[in-house]
Amino acid sequence: MLPDRIRTFNKYVTNRITRRFANVSHGPFAIIGHIGRRSGKHYETTIMVRPTREGFLIALTYGPQVDWYRNVLATGGGTIYWHKRLYTVGKPEPMAVQTALSLFPQPEKLILRMLGIQNFVQVKSSGSEPIRA
């Protein structure tokens, strides 16, 4: 799990930059929309996803205590904006480390192993919806 200082820096600096990459039609960046479990407010967080047959695989690079994950668990789902399409997703389901790593290409797999990432979840998608401008 990455240190909290890096997580905080990424939350306020890196995520604002990578958010722009979620608007292109290639790459691993996506925006997960979620409702605050206490506030009821709508939030958007930049994450990296890997598409699967059923939805998306997400490496919990900061562990399972991050707000977006806890919010999606509490509300039973959210949305993922990826490659210019919006997907409705259900409750995250844990995935075994070896199973999850086998779905990543070798360079990403190596990085995830080097970082010691041990938590992966899959969210099932009910399909994409047209994006309204």
Tokens of 65: 């205590």
Query: Which of 78, 8, 9 has the alpha carbon at shortest distance from 49?
Result: 78
Q: Is residue 19 pLDDT above 70, yes or no?
A: no
> What's the whole-model pTM score?
0.80
Q: State how many domains the chain has.
A: 1
What pLDDT is stored for residue 76 in this prediction?
95
Q: Is residue 2 pLDDT above 50, yes or no?
A: yes
Query: Which of 64, 62, 9, 66 has the alpha carbon at shortest distance from 36?
Result: 66
Q: Confirm whether 133 is domain-assigned.
A: no
Tokens of 1: 């799990």
Q: Which residues contact 82 (CB under 8 A, 6 or more apart)?
A: 22, 29, 30, 31, 49, 51, 56
Q: Is residue 133 pLDDT above 50, yes or no?
A: no
CA gap 87, 63 in Å, rounded: 23
CA gap 115, 49 in Å, rounded: 16
Residue 14 confidence class, pLDDT cut points 50, 70, 90:
low
What sign has the CA pseudo-torsion 19, 22, 27, 33? positive
Q: Is residue 130 pLDDT above 60, yes or no?
A: no
Residue 20 confidence class, pLDDT cut points 50, 70, 90:
low
Q: Confirm whether 40 is domain-assigned.
A: yes
What pLDDT is stored for residue 99 in this prediction?
95
Q: Confirm whether 132 is domain-assigned.
A: no
Q: Confirm whether 60 is domain-assigned.
A: yes
Q: What CATH number corresponds to the domain at position 13?
A: 2.30.110.10
* Structural domain for 98, as ranges: 4-127
**70: helix, strand or coil:** helix
Q: Confirm whether 63 is domain-assigned.
A: yes
Q: Confirm whether 18 is domain-assigned.
A: yes
Q: Are strands 85-90 and 120-129 parallel, antiparallel or unpaired?
A: antiparallel
Taking only the tens place, the pLDDT of each residue in 36-85 is 999 999 999 988 899 999 999 999 988 899 999 999 999 999 999 998 88
Taking only the tens place, the pLDDT of each residue in 80-102 is 999 888 999 999 999 999 999 99
Instruction: Count the neighbouring beta carbons within 10 Å of the beta carbon of residue 42.
Output: 12
